[in-house]
Copies of this chain bind each other. A is one copy, B any other.
Amino acid sequence: MDSYLSRYNKVRKHTEDICSPLKTEDYVAQPIADVSPPKWHLAHTTWFFETFLLKEHLSNYKVFNNQFPYLFNSYYVSAGERMLRPDRGNMTRPTVEEIYQYREFVDSYMRQLLSEETSADLASVVEIGLQHEQQHQELLLYDIKYILGHNPLFPVYDQNFEEYEPDKSEHTFVKVEKGNYKIGHKGEGFSFDNEFARHEVHLEGALISSKLVTNGEYAEFIESGAYDDHQFWHSDARAWIDETGISAPLYWHKKEGAWYYYTLSGLKKIDEAAPVMHISFYEAYAFAEWKGMRIPTEFEWEVASEQLRWGKRWEYTGSAYLPYPGYKKPPGAIGEYNGKFMVNQMVLRGASVATPENHSRNTYRNFFHPHLQWQFNGIRLAKDL
């Protein structure tokens, strides 16, 4: 594996590469509370290194700007006062240029720190800082798509960005036998606290679809009137539909009888063979009900994963995001990373086209509230043995 210094340089550069097609104005907007302005991501990931590494491990480090911690802390309550999330989009200063200067400043000190021998303690925080920045790389793409995709001009982010790639394989089912299985991370290489403790579960057995649900299948679901048919939906989902009026995946638009969607390479007719994306858990569940099937649990998914082609979109599971048996929240601010989100959210497994290379694994647990649509997700169906 690369040295920390070399990985640090690559990860930091990749974040800036993601932003390179943006105009200055695109860095500023926060159309909904869940979406952060790109410049906030750039600064927040930098604040993480400054706060948990430079301030701790470089004795004479002086912070770049002593108001930045207030501006760029996100949810680390232990790390001090924070600006309220929905105000991020009103923060026109510091400018994008100043934030890039902040990155450069922190990078130069980080490089100094990483050019020396790294203790195990320090290494583990650097690792988290890199993983953390990679998670924000994924979110950056979600948020950039949201900002550009809600502009009436539908600006192209990157002509060559391929959200989907054709999957010509035949449709089959992967069998998970009834029995006991070990679940969770084995402990070698990096993983998050929520992948522990590795523990045993019993599964009753299942058949897992080898392919994801396509746009074409989902369009059929819509056209069948399923959004108005209460029998497929959770009670909370009906309330969500009544309140929002949602009746299609995010970014879908109907024009003269045909479905279009906004992609990072622009607005186009939907590709019926490509896997559907940007549906909420509620919609994934309803679609499975409509098909007379279900979605797999996260345990079934993990067991079957070796036999699945996964990695282009996060896949919903029927599992609520809860601690594994033996889960221990790490102490301090880093401990706020995962544990405090373990209620009201559903687990997704896999990875997406927005996931940085080497950032996922088959024990990785992603999670979102069940109404959210802006992440790059998909639906895989399952059924009982």
Residues of chain A at the chain B interface (Cβ within 8 Å): 23-31, 39, 67, 70-71, 75, 77-78, 83, 87, 89-96, 147-148, 150-153, 155, 180, 199-204, 230-231, 233-237, 281-282, 285, 318-320, 322-323, 325-326, 335-336, 340-344, 346, 370, 384
Chain B residues within an 8 Å CB radius of A202: 180, 200-202
Give me 28 A-to-B residue pairs in the complex whose CB atoms sit less than 8 angstroms apart, sorted by A's number: A23-B93, A24-B95, A25-B27, A25-B95, A28-B28, A28-B92, A29-B90, A29-B91, A29-B92, A31-B90, A78-B231, A90-B150, A92-B148, A180-B202, A199-B204, A200-B202, A200-B204, A204-B326, A233-B340, A234-B344, A235-B340, A236-B344, A282-B343, A325-B384, A326-B384, A343-B346, A343-B370, A344-B344
Is A89 a contact of B29 with CB atoms below 8 Å?
yes
Q: Known interface pairs A202-B201, A204-B326, A343-B281. Does A92 touch B26 (Cβ–Cβ under 8 Å)?
A: yes
Min CB–CB distance A74 → chain B (angstroms): 11
Q: Which residue of B lies closest to A202 (CB)?
A: B202
Chain B residues within an 8 Å CB radius of A318: 322-323
Q: Known interface pairs A152-B83, A319-B322. Does A93 touch B343 (Cβ–Cβ under 8 Å)?
A: no
Q: Which residue of B lies closest to A326 (CB)?
A: B384
Chain B residues within an 8 Å CB radius of A152: 67, 70-71, 83, 91
Chain B residues within an 8 Å CB radius of A203: 325
Residue in A71, A92, A335 whose Cβ sees the most chain B Cβ within 10 Å: A92
Q: Which residue of B lies closest to A230 (CB)?
A: B77
Min CB–CB distance A153 → chain B (angstroms): 5
Q: Known interface pairs A92-B151, A147-B90, A151-B91. Does A342 touch B25 (Cβ–Cβ under 8 Å)?
A: no
Q: Known interface pairs A152-B71, A234-B340, A320-B322. Does A25 touch B24 (Cβ–Cβ under 8 Å)?
A: yes
Chain B residues within an 8 Å CB radius of A150: 90
Q: Which residue of B lies closest to A339 (CB)?
A: B234
Chain B residues within an 8 Å CB radius of A236: 343-344
